[in-house]
Amino acid sequence: MKNKTLVHASRLSLLALAMASAGVMAADGTIKIGVLHSLSGTMAISETTLKDTMLMLIDEQNKKGGVLGKKLEPVVVDPASNWPLFAEKARELIQKDKVAAIFGCWTSVSRKSVLPVVEELDSILFYPVQYEGEESSKNVFYTGAAPNQQAIPAVDYLMAQGVQRWALLGTDYVYPRTTNKILEAYLKAKGVKADDIMVNYTPFGHSDWQSIVADVKKFGSAGKKTAVVSTINGDANVPFYKELGNQGISAKDIPVVAFSVGEEELSGIDTKPLVGHLAAWNYFQSVESDENSQFIDTWHKFTGKESRVTNDPMEATYIGFNMWVQAVEKAGTTEPGAVQDALIGVSVPNLTGGIATMMPNHHITKPVLIGEIQDDGQFEVVSETKGTVVGDEWSDYLPGSRDLISDWRKPLACGNFNVKTGKCGGSTK
């Protein structure tokens, strides 16, 4: 009787093991990837394209056999330009959908909403948009530009063109406010007087620009060459640029350099009155390289529309995705901790003909390009760094940041190590 019981128990154990294995195999049939971008609301004008980019990249990778012999499965959610909803959707992606990584967010407020979730659950977020810096997380990989890879080089370019007065116009949230705080400190360090700096913030989706543009026009009539540095985000850019044209402000009068306006945003407006205004990015569709030509061709075939443009955050998404694929294959697993370690030092081609490398501070190397708007909605590159620039997560121009560095390699593994005190302040700040 005892032997029969043991045999029966053994059979049950084997059956349970077989059922468990079948469950694991079913669960492990694909590798799920979270796509967290606004498909509605004020940011849909910018973020919908990044969702489509991810679907294209996943489709192309699956044609190559997937990753670790498994197909990739996108899990697309719409946080609808609702910042708290980004956190809720991120939690669902990680806990319910069991995604291996999340590619998403555009605004810094959406990223900061997601940040505590990915840290708590030890997941991975690839963030593909320029941002204000002043942050470094073990769980976030920043493939967009830090201020020293976009904002500061743009100001340097305008200074070289003789600009002496500065109108800093931004949407009212963390990225424009922090970036402008850095730029104000930088400008003053360069000898610019406080009276020669104008700052204005407007809400998301702001549409009535008549009085603000009139103020800028008046500010620029003081006899000193004036420029606008724009951190205006989302669909508010459309009426802003239209109002510039309405009030007859050309690039020769008061040039605008934008950090959140690319080919996608310009595709919906008449760009003829905007010819000569500027944008600072790390990629433009007009860049000539074999990699870019292939990317554009693949994009047009995937979307079925020759008119669909490419832009900088698409390139940052492309770089981040390829880095994740390489890191997973290097680690031999999608387990977040192993992939986080494997990502440091990974190098992949960018779309401008160079190489992007993930640095120990979880930022990548990027070239800096200044482009002039053309009448076809494309950009002509008028300035470009000779090589790539390493992203600086902590600004050298803010007192609380200039002594901090980030290095996520062991044994330091710190996001804000103070080189003067020799102490780590925690994972993020």
Tell me the C-alpha distance between 196 and 167, whole Å: 8
Question: For residue 336, is pLDDT > 90?
Answer: yes
Q: What is the pTM of this model?
A: 0.88
Contacts of 273 (CB under 8 A, 6+ apart): 241, 244, 245, 250
Q: Which of 156, 104, 152, 149 is nearest to 130 (CA)?
A: 149
Q: What is the percentage of the chain residues whose pLDDT exceeds 90?
A: 84
Report the b/e string of 223-235 with b at 16+ CB within 10 A.
Answer: eeebbbbbbbbbb
Name the token pair of 84. 């708290």
pLDDT value of residue 332:
98
Confidence of residue 63 (pLDDT cuts 50, 70, 90): very high
User: Could you tell me which residues are beta bridge partners of residue 355?
Assistant: 349
Pick the CATH number of 148-281 from 3.40.140.10, 3.40.50.880, 1.10.150.120, 3.40.50.2300: 3.40.50.2300
Cβ contacts of residue 276 below 8 Å, gap of 6+?
Answer: 250, 251, 252, 255, 372, 373
In Å, what is the CA distance from 424 to each residue of 115, 363, 421? Answer: 19, 19, 9
Sign (positive or negative) of CA dihedral 354, 183, 258, 105: positive
Question: Looking at residues 377-401, what average pLDDT do you find?
Answer: 94
Mean pLDDT score, 176-191: 96
How far the first Cα of the chain sits from its last, in Å, is 66
pLDDT level of residue 11 (50, 70, 90 thresholds): very low
Residue range 228-240, pLDDT digits in tens: 999 998 888 889 9
Once rounded to an integer, what is the mean pLDDT over residues 153-159? 97
- Could you state, in order of their start, the residue ranges of all structural domains in the chain? 148-281
Is residue 408 predicted with pLDDT exceeding 80? yes
Q: Above 80 in pLDDT, residue 22? A: no
